[in-house]
Amino acid sequence: MSIPLLGLGTFRLKDQVVIGSVSQALELGYRAIDTAQIYGNEAEVGSAVAASGIPRDQLFLTSKIWIENLSADKLIPSLKDSLNKLRSDYLDLTLIHWPSPKGAVAVSEFMSALAEARDQGLTRQIGVSNFTIDLLRQAIDVVGNDAIATNQIELHPYLQNRKLVEFMHSQGIAVTSYMTLGYGKVLQDPVIQAIAGQHNATPAQVTLAWAMQLGYAVIPSSTRRENLASNLKARELKLSDEDMAKIAALDSGLRLTSPESLAPAWD
């Protein structure tokens, strides 16, 4: 099963704000929604999805296991709690949100538990997030590369993570880019703006199209209907080889997310 190239992210959206975002997105045609246990909004996402009336089999729901729930005795119960909040019998994709800080819970323990959750039918696919090459190798040793649907990583024009992406491609693991717009920094880039002008597009559409053209899934969030609709149109934008090369040249290794208590030793 493939992962939709464009979905809706819900990071930092809470309460009625996330309900409004998800509801509008579903009305506009989004069918993939990304949330996480630590976001504290699974119940609200579930409420919006239920109210939409869209059949469950037409949706692609992703959530992520928080670090406090990585141990073998906690992972599956926490996932069942997430499903209860989301009002669903299963997730389409369940990710390990961050590797266990300082290896407190072994990769073999949480990946085995995640695979067991899949075998129980609680999730269709499994994957990871914020994993380095070394951590991916450890995960592959436990469940095999075929079992790891994706590694969700910070990836945008200023941080293109080529070494990690190359390894993932070699293992058949899909790339999911989060923070694709670089907290909005990328949208101010003159190169991106110039390309947008040439295509009569927005800088956000150009950036999302760039990632999707490389085969990466993207999960931008927005609370504004016009932006949600505009982002959706990025799927129709085709950038030239010259455009892609110009954006490739923007890579500066600028990492925007690296919490001291969570971050592994990045590649």
pLDDT tens per residue, range 171-190: 999 999 999 999 999 999 99
pLDDT tens per residue, range 106-159: 999 999 999 999 999 999 999 999 999 999 999 999 999 999 999 999 999 999
Query: What is the rounded average pLDDT for all residues in the chain?
Result: 98
Residue 222, both tokens = 């927005």
Question: Count of CB atoms within 10 A of residue 132's CB?
Answer: 19
Over residues 250-267, the mean pLDDT reads 97
Question: What confidence tier does 167 reach under pLDDT thresholds 50, 70, 90?
Answer: very high
pLDDT tens per residue, range 5-61: 999 999 999 999 999 999 999 999 999 999 999 999 999 999 999 999 999 999 999
- Evaluate whether 28 touches 68 at the Cβ level (below 8 Å): no
Residue found under tokens 């119940």: 43
Please give the Cα distance from 48 to 26 (Å, whole number): 9
Q: Which of 30, 39, 158, 216 is catalytic?
A: 39
Full strand arrangement of the beta sheet holding 123-129: 8-9, 32-34, 60-65, 91-96, 123-129, 148-154, 174-178, 217-218
Domains and CATH numbers, the chain: 8-248 (3.20.20.100)
Distances (CA, A) of 205 to 43, 142, 230, 241: 30, 38, 7, 16
Is-catalytic flag, 39? yes
Q: What is the pLDDT of residue 63?
A: 99
Does 97 belong to an annotated binding site?
yes
Please give the Cα distance from 85 to 256 (Å, whole number): 30
Q: Is the pLDDT of residue 216 over 70?
A: yes
Q: What is the pLDDT of residue 1?
A: 59
- Give the rounded percent of residues in the chain with a pLDDT score beyond 90: 99
Please give the Cα distance from 206 to 187 (Å, whole number): 9
